[in-house]
């Protein structure tokens, strides 16, 4: 599929932006890997736009937090990290269907998990950079407030800015006066691609499991799993 067969009208509608220079939006969707397979492609990849968008995103989110929340700097930093982290930006990119317009190599099209999350988050930042260049700071601010900062209230309310392991430990210690422990349930694979299955326990009761490329990553997944369980909803009450 060539550059000019992709109709970006729906993407513009999803973003809520009518671009003056549509090539900026097209460029925001071009991953470096695509150019490796298509060296004659008429636009550069999106990394410079991502660089710009990252800075625009940080100043707008930081100013919003500063003006609307009289909390200490450490608290605001945690909230900002939660709203601009890779997972949140990738989630927003999916909601806005940016994924459908990406130019990826045949290999990257098949990427899953963390690798795909990073590609999506970077594309979201590149779109922010494109909006800023095409429309200016006010439009970029409107976009970020409408599409991203709307998530802030639930991040604060549900303490999503706290990492799952800390959140689980705080919850369990508060309610049960015990500390969760983690054990390796299984590990496999070669040294360069090791996989771990971790379990999180309350005394001898297994309450969650998670898999990852490191013990730390698997522990976080196990804590996330435990926090989703029905009994934890009751403990929260």
Q: Which of these, 213, 164, 208, lies nearest to 182 by C-alpha position? A: 208
- The two structure tokens encoding residue 54: 């990252």
Beta strands in the chain (DSSP E): 181-188, 195-202, 205-212
Structure-block tokens of residue 146: 């409408």
Alpha-carbon distance of 113 to 209, in angstroms, equals: 18
The backbone region for 6, taken as left when phi is positive above 0, alpha when psi lies in -120 to 50, beta otherwise, is beta
SS3 content of the chain, % helix, strand, coil (to 5): 65, 10, 25
Q: Which residues form the catalytic set?
A: 54, 125
181 φ, ψ (degrees, to nearest 5): -125, 155
Contact (CB, 8 A) for 207 and 191: no
Q: How far apart are CA 14 and CA 193, in angstroms?
A: 38
Helix (H) or strand (E) holding 49: helix 47-68
Radius of gyration of the chain (CA): 21
d(CA 101, CA 20): 18
């Amino acid at each position: 599929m060539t550059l000019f067969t992709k109709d970006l009208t729906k993407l513009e509608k999803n973003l809520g932006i009518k671009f003056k220079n549509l090539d900026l939006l097209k460029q925001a969707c071009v991953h470096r890997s695509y150019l490796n397979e298509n060296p004659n492609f008429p636009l550069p990849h999106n990394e410079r736009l991502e660089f710009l968008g990252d800075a625009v995103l940080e100043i707008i989110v930081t100013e919003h937090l500063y003006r609307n929340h009289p909390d200490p700097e450490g608290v605001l930093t945690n909230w900002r990290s939660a709203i601009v982290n890779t997972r949140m930006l990738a989630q927003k990119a999916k909601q806005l269907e940016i994924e459908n317009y990406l130019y990826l190599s045949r290999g990257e099209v098949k990427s899953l998990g963390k690798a795909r999350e990073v590609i999506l988050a970077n594309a979201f930042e590149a779109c922010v950079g494109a909006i800023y260049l095409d429309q200016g700071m006010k439009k970029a601010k409107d976009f970020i407030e409408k599409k991203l900062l709307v998530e802030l209230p639930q991040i604060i309310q549900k303490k999503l800015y706290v990492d799952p392991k800390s959140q689980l430990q705080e919850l369990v210690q508060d309610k049960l006066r015990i500390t969760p422990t983690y054990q390796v349930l299984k590990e496999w694979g070669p040294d360069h691609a090791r996989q771990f299955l971790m379990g999180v326990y309350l005394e001898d009761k297994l309450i969650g499991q998670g898999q990852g490329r490191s013990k730390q990553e698997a522990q976080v997944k196990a804590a996330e799993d435990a926090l989703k369980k029905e009994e934890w909803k009751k403990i929260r009450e």
